[in-house]
Structure 1
């Protein structure tokens, strides 16, 4: 990569589905939660969850759980206004599955999340002069768990759930970019890497609100959609339709050489 292009290139990564596989953790907790609060009447499939998230506004899995609960109960004749299921109760149940029941030593699904990149990949980006950080809808504790404890990134540049409005609002992306620019006033090319429609919509909104940067959306296929070719192709098309300029099967396929091609 040329010094000129690399010096002004920033990559911001989503975490869930990009840095770690959450199909057996967040998504499993989501399905457990919906099943529990519908009295075992409905357990959403991975396809059901993807369909909801394709609407582009359900990046928060607690809110997604609540929405799927409401939609099922509506089919049973119960309106949202009649529902007595408290949001905080939904969150607490979800977290008991995802984090576990021991507040001092997490023992939930989070402990078994496969990593989707290795530290050397991030080292290669740094050596190419590419700045990188993270903007995720995950809680700070959950995001820090994978970044610091498992990938040994200390301290990570991270904008998490508590730090900004949920995607597709680009406020958190802007905040991550400000941290990574480190006072550099030259316009940067910013690549945001995500696995959902909401991630790509975030890039579109960023572009419309701050045109001094060159904003590029890159999609990554989460592992659960890669089992069938037809599913993989359909999901890739979904991300491209939402604004992704490239879609990869693994985040590490976005090499410094491919970044150079994207930046132009």
Structure 2
């Protein structure tokens, strides 16, 4: 695509498991939290977490942590009403593991967030820009966490970002729509330009399906990204994860965000 060509699609990205490897950060904090609030009796495996997220409604890891704690005690015959859980305590414990003791100042974060391997570099987004593909981000991460990786680590600026505080959680497509509309206005794009959303979970793909159902004036396309812990797993595990993303609505599934080039994006358009 030449620099003089008009944009043919908008690309919107999830962050966790797509731009950064959260296997040993968010997922580790989740496992720590469940272990803490089950009194050290249960620590979910990576497969346990994938199974939960495969249900499509646990994109928020704080809520996912709470749910796994509830389920642990339910398996032991306790009703939820009899389980004394304080959600705010769960959030605080999780965040202290993920960010470190100083939760508010990114300059002082010492937790798991500082150890996340990046899965992409700024050059990837430069290439999209050169290929006339406007891009932005819709993530279930908090603004602080999202900007930590996008601005501080990747060096991106002038971001179009909708994060946890800004919209309902996935699979509600409100946040995805907001990013698409912002980019459309910012770049003076046609209102019916197709939107590609790249994410690594069932909820991400369900978000695309709901966007298509509710905002049919555009074409909404889902690209599933296999997260690093899945890519590193057994072939049967990768196949099952790929199939789950496809079943949830993915138009394509790739093993790395860097495989989602301009040519692949253009090939997705009907």
Cα root mean square deviation, aligned: 1.4
The 5 Å alignment of 1:178-193 reads 178-182=181-185, 183-193=188-198
The 5 Å alignment of 1:114-263 reads 114-182=117-185, 183-227=188-232, 228-263=234-269
Check whether the contact 1:8–1:186 (CA below 8 A) recurs between aligned residues: no
Stretches of 4+ aligned residues off by more than 6 angstroms: 2-5
Check whether the contact 1:5–1:260 (CA below 8 A) recurs between aligned residues: no
Q: Distance in 2 between matches of 1:5 and 1:239?
A: 32
SS of 1:231's equivalent? helix
Unaligned runs of 5+ in 1: none
TM-score by length of 2: 0.95
Q: Distance in 1 between matches of 2:95 and 2:209?
A: 31
- Of stretches 89-98 and 4-13 in structure 1, the one that deviates more from structure 2 is 4-13
TM-score by length of 1: 0.97
Check whether the contact 2:15–2:137 (CA below 8 A) recurs between aligned residues: yes
Shift of 1:254: 0.6
Q: Deviations over 1:199-222 (max 9, x none)?
A: 000000000000110110000000
Q: Deviations over 1:87-113 (max 9, x none)?
A: 001000000100011243000000000
SS of 1:208's equivalent? helix
Q: Distance in 1 between matches of 2:50 and 2:191?
A: 38
Report the counterpart of residue 67 of structure 1 in structure 2: 67
The number of residue pairs the alignment matches comes to 264
Unaligned runs of 5+ in 2: none
Report the counterpart of residue 10 of structure 2 in structure 1: 10
- Of stretches 99-108 and 110-119 in structure 1, the one that deviates more from structure 2 is 99-108
Change (3 A) 1:5 1:135: farther
